[in-house]
Amino acid sequence: MALSSGRVQPARPGDPTRVGPYRIVGRLGSGGMGTVHAGLDAAGARVAVKVVNASYAEDAEFRARFRREVQLSARVQGPWLIPLLAADPDAEAPWLATAYVPGPTLDQHLAAHGPLTGSTLYAFAVGTAQALAAVHAAGVVHRDVKPQNVILNPAGPRVLDFGIAHATDGTSVTRTGVMTGTPGWISPEHYRTGTVGPAGDMFAWGTLVAYAATSRLPFGTGAPDAVAYRVMSAAPDLGGLPGELRGTVEEALAKSPEERITADAAAQQCARLLSAQATQILAADTGPAPTTVGTVVAAWQVPAAEDPAWRVPPAPARRRALTVLVAAAVIGAVVGGAAALDTDSRAGTGAASKGADTAPPRPSGKPAPHSASAVPRGGGSTPPEDPRSIRIPTDPLAGIPRPAYTRADDDSQPAPEEWRASTRAGTPQEQDTEQAISRHMASMLATKNLDFMEPTVTFNLRAQTVIVTGGPVPQLPDNYQDVFRRAGEMAACAALAHRLRETPTTWPYGRFSIHWKLSDGDVEAPAIGFGRSTDGCFSEIAGQWHADELGMATAQIPSSDRAEIRVADAAVKAVTATWNAGAAEINEVPMSARDGISLGFDPVENAAYVWTGDPDNRFGNRAAQSNLAGAVEKAVCDRLMAEFADNRSWRYTRWTLAVLDPTAGEGQFIRSGTCTP
């Protein structure tokens, strides 16, 4: 989708006035796949809201890919990336919102001012390589690195559309026999076999840096087949590229993907070059220093970006009142779409990744579970707080000027040395945290009869990291190890977030890593997960929870919890009964056992997963899927909320529906949500 340089174009007839929680005030650009709208959040912050055209929204393959890429992209964060703020891939018109960053794209800047030079060129190379390193570390491939997807902001370069570009750009939807991508920015292996991967991104990065330095494509222009031939067979034209940088770019442009430099290595090499440049400018008699974000910004010299004020049309009085109500509803969803806390450890559950701070909804008009029996007989009338309603802090160090934990901005992966140097809990606070993490993990794993995977919790004060280690377990299925990792991430994230909120100036731990031993004598247990409790512990986007394949895999492991088995059985019967009661009215055939409705629970995200194998392809169209989702939401939420009110240890408040492909066996998520009374 094409973006303007910040000047808002007037809205056109048929444009939405609101998308999700955002008020739409105009357009920023448009393309074959959809429109980029100028939006404002409830606080007035500017956002870019991309809405997919209806013709593509009706394509089930496109929608499934869009949903998957949104899930992946929500994990990607870095100083040189434009973050995904919110998305709804299940909306009638799928959309996503990113932060708005003013500035020209690289091609616009080169047309107006010519090539980048000196320290600015090196800063560009460092920033864009670090951006791709963050993308690749999250398991995402950009697939569309090109000048139109890099903004030159006064604070440094910003890479657009990480992990989503191929789902929302007209050149990117991959179909058999169709070449995707932009000529001149496609790797040799993509031309030959259609292969895409991190190495392909790095080939495009080498082209990008060469283009930034010379305003020339290293393989020239012309007919697409001529460009393709030169990419696969000819040496790149790197004349005019500084000699120190040329070697790194040549490594990125190697014909064989196996010989190409990685994004992380390219960032380190370019950082050393930038440090040398900065040292020569600032202090010629000192050695090069490690390059930081501040060094890149200091070396970055581009003209100030034109950033005209967005003219916001006034809303009529009645519309203003509605806006306030909608904003309140969104805030209410964030507060009410809850992940519950472990009753014993008071540590919350949910997906250990980025997102909002939420807690389970308490049914209105009903007392908290068991509240009557919990009132002290001898005096006070206030029942104790339900632990499930205690929210995990999203930003536990907000407003703290000098916290003891100082690595909140360090996104480096854990090193083997940190694991080896960790020790068992020593202080009372460490011992309490170890117990909280162990109890929380045990409560999650026990529901799947996996509590034999007992964690070992250790601490590395120098790295400010709490480490959870599992294994060895011979012949353990991969999905069981995934459950251990997810449970460990959530338990550690929640426990550390609470500690940081309670004692921010004395508690030094904010990072966590999950490791798995391959043998009893393993001296270098590989890390299988890591994160920071200052980034939030939930996977919700703008207060909306979305299911994923890992949660589905966990839910499909048979439950050993009696309450879960009982509720699952009742809910499946209720889904069938709800559907059949309205089948005639919606012109659908009654449901039978052959339709294969199943329900399982994911204890990490407190979610009930409902799926059907759909052997007769009854739910292949959107109308039938919508009808089924309505029946599932009513039947499942009724059972979840009833159990929540009666059973103090019940934590499940979320639900999702998936229809499995009867031939491929893969699932398509139809709708997800959080139950409300």
Is residue 334 within 8 A of residue 371, CB to CB? The reply is no
Residue from 579, 583, 598, 589 nearest 617 by CA: 589
Higher pLDDT, 361 or 314: 314
Amino acid, res. 471: G
pLDDT at 359 over 80: no
Q: Which residues contact 533 (CB under 8 A, 6 or more apart)?
A: 396, 492, 493, 494, 496, 497, 500, 510, 511, 512
Confidence of residue 212 (pLDDT cuts 50, 70, 90): very high
The label of the residue with tokens 């963050």 reads 134
Sequence ranges of the domains in the chain: 1-100, 102-306, 416-535, 549-674
Helix (H) or strand (E) holding 46: strand 46-52
Is the CATH number 3.30.110.70 carried by domain 102-306?
no
Separation of alpha carbons 427 and 506, rounded Å = 12
In the chain, helix, strand, coil percent, each to 5?
Answer: 40, 15, 45
Separation of alpha carbons 122 and 111, rounded Å = 20
Higher pLDDT, 232 or 181: 232
- Using alpha carbons only, give the angle 489, 494, 498 rounded to the nearest 5 degrees: 150
Structure tokens at 362: 């308490």
Structure tokens at 431: 């011992």
* Rounded mean pLDDT, 578-607: 85
Put the strands of the sheet holding 46-52 in their side by side order: 18-19, 22-30, 34-40, 46-52, 95-99, 84-88
pLDDT confidence of residue 163: 45
Separation of alpha carbons 288 and 63, rounded Å = 48
Q: Dihedrals φ, ψ of 264, to 5°?
A: -65, -45
pLDDT at 101 over 70: yes
Q: Dihedrals φ, ψ of 48, to 5°?
A: -105, 120
Separation of alpha carbons 150 and 106, rounded Å = 6
Per-residue pLDDT reduced to its tens digit, 615-633: 777 787 888 899 999 999 9
pLDDT at 658 over 50: yes
Specify the 3-state DSSP secondary structure of 150. Answer: strand
Is residue 554 within 8 A of residue 482, CB to CB? The reply is yes
Q: Dihedrals φ, ψ of 250, to 5°?
A: -60, -40
Per-residue pLDDT reduced to its tens digit, 536-573: 887 766 667 888 888 988 998 888 899 999 999 999 99
| Three-state SS sequence of 371-419 | HHHHCCCCCCCCCCCCHHHCCCCCCCCCCCCCCCCCCCCCCCCCCHHHH
Q: Which residues are catalytic?
A: 144
Give the domain 1-100 fold.
Phosphorylase Kinase; domain 1 (3.30.200)
Phi-psi sector, 18: left (phi>0), alpha (psi -120 to 50), beta: beta
Separation of alpha carbons 65 and 70, rounded Å = 9
Per-residue pLDDT reduced to its tens digit, 215-230: 999 999 888 888 888 9
Q: State in Å, rounded, how far the first CA of the chain is from the last one.
A: 40
Range name among 250-254, 282-286, 560-564, 596-600 with the lowest pLDDT average? 282-286
Q: Which residues contact 317 (CB under 8 A, 6 or more apart)?
A: none
pLDDT confidence of residue 178: 42
Separation of alpha carbons 236 and 230, rounded Å = 8
Separation of alpha carbons 188 and 197, rounded Å = 12
pLDDT confidence of residue 653: 93
Put the strands of the sheet holding 465-470 in their side by side order: 456-460, 465-470, 511-516, 527-532
Range name among 20-29, 273-282, 294-303 with the lowest pLDDT average? 273-282
